[in-house]
Amino acid sequence: MDPITLGALGLAALILLLVLRIPIAYAMILVGAIGTTMLSGPNILLAQLKTLAYGQFSIYDLSVVPMFVLMGALAVKTGLSKDLFRAANAWFGWMRGGTAMASIAACAGFGAVCGSSLATASTMGKVALPELRRYNYSPALATGSIAAGGVLGILIPPSVVLVIYAIIVEANVVTMFMAALIPGILAVILFLLTIAIYVRIRPDAGPAHGAGSRAEFMAATRGMIPVLIVFGIVIGGIYAGLYTPTPAAAIGVFVVFVFGMVKKQLSWRSILDSLRETASTTGMIFLILLGAELLKIFMSRAGVPQFAADWAVNSGLTPMMVLLILLLALILLGCLMDSLSMILLVLPFFWPVLVAMNGGDYQPAEGAGYGMSTEHLKIWFGILALVVVELGLITPPVGMNVFVISSLARDVPMSTTFRGVAPFFASEIVRVGILIAFPWLTLGLPLLLQG
C-alpha cells in the first residue's frame, strides 16, 4: 500500500477511535504501533520500543512537569484560592458585575500558581460560586465567568502545556514563559471588559454590592501576598535568569508547602493526596507523550507531514490563510479532545507546514512567509495555538471546564453555562485577532529581556 494512503487511513482510524471514546494515549499507541508494523515490519517497531520510552521520559526538561503539577496540587490544599478570591472581591466587588470580575482575577492569580485550567476552574468554582449566588448573579454569568476564567491557567506561566509545547518544537521553555505573559494579561483585560459590557446590557445579571470598610479592604488585600510571593519567586526568578524552570518549580513546591504548614492547612493526608494526584496526572501526561511519539514515527515514515507541507506550499494559499486554517482546525478539534492531547496530536503535522510556508528551516527570505525567523515563529505560533486550545475548554460538546462547573452547579443546565461562556468565547476570538495582527505583543518581552 502507498505510504501516504496508509498514513491517511491511520489518521482516519485514530479519529474513529477517539469518537468511540478510546483514551487518546491508547489510540495513538495502537495506530502508531500497527501503522509502523505495516509500513516497516515488526522488527523496526520493536527496535523503536526498546529505547523509546526511556529516551522520551529521561529528558531533563520534562522533570519540570511533576514539579509544577505538585505545586498546583498543594496550592489547592492550602486554601490560597479563598484568600485570593476574597482579595479580588474587595477590589472589584463594589462595581456592577464586580464579583464575576473578581472570579476572573482570582482565576488568573491562581493559574499563576497552579498551571492547570481544570484545577483552576474546579477550585475557584467551589470558592466563587457560593458568593455569586449570594449576590443573585444570573446563572449564565456566574457559571460562565468561572468556566472561562479557568482557561487562564493554561497560558499564564507556569503552564504544563506550554512546557510540553516547548519540548516538542525544541523551543526554550523560559522564552515561552516570557512570551505568554502579555497575552495572558491581555486575556484578563478582555474578560473584564466582557463582563462590564455584559452587565451594562443586562444590569440585573450582575448586581453590585457595597464596599467594605478600609480595614476589611486591607485585610482582604493581604490575602494576595502569598500568591504574589510564589509568582515572584518562581516566574520572577526565571525571568531574571536566577534559575531554570526545573529548580524554579522545586522552589515553588517548597514555598507553597511552607505557606500551607504556616496556615495549618496541610495535613499528612492532604500531602499524600497531592503526591498521589501528581503521580496520576504525570503518568497520564507521559503516556500521552509516548503515544504521540509512536504516532509521529509512523507518520514520519509514511511521509504525511512532508506531504502536508508540500501541499500547502503548492496550494496557492497565502501563509496567513494557511495559519488561519490551522487555527480553525484547532478550534474544531477542541470540540473533541483536551488541550494537551490536541497539542501532542497536531504539532507533528502543523509545524512542518508552518516552516514550509515561512520559507524554510532557518532564516526566510526578506518579506517571505510570516516575516520572522523560524525561532520567532515557534514562539508566536505556540502562544496562538495555546490561546486557541483554550477555546476547546469552553466549546461544546466536550468543553471540559463547562463540565467541571456543571458538576459544581447541578441545578444550572449545561446549556445555560455554555450560553454564559459565549461572550468570553467571542472575547478570545478578538484576542487571537490582536495577537495575529501585532506579533510584537508575543515576541516583545522575550526580545527585551533576552536581548
One DSSP character per residue, 413-441 reads: -HHHHHHHHHHHHHHHHHHHHHHHH-THH
> Distance between CA 119 and CA 96 in Å, rounded?
27
> Distance between CA 303 and CA 297 in Å, rounded?
10
Mean pLDDT per 10-residue interval, the chain, length 451 residues = 87 86 88 90 85 82 86 83 84 86 89 78 86 89 90 82 86 90 93 94 83 74 83 87 87 90 86 91 87 88 87 87 90 76 84 85 56 89 90 78 85 88 92 94 87 59
Q: Are 90 and 221 in contact (CB under 8 A)?
A: yes
pTM of the full structure: 0.87
CA atoms within 13 A on the CB side of 22: 16
Q: Cell for 34?
A: 500497527
> Distance between CA 417 and CA 149 in Å, rounded?
13
Q: Cell for 170?
A: 525544541
> Distance between CA 36 and CA 41 in Å, rounded?
7
- Predicted confidence at residue 33, as pLDDT, reads 92
Find how far residue 223's CA is from the centre of its chain: 26
- Predicted confidence at residue 212, as pLDDT, reads 64
Ramachandran category for residue 169: left, alpha or beta (phi over 0 → left; psi -120 to 50 → alpha)? alpha
- Predicted confidence at residue 435, as pLDDT, reads 95
- Predicted confidence at residue 438, as pLDDT, reads 93
Q: Which helix (H) or strand (E) holds 79?
A: none
> Distance between CA 159 and CA 179 in Å, rounded?
12
Q: Are 208 and 445 in contact (CB under 8 A)?
A: no
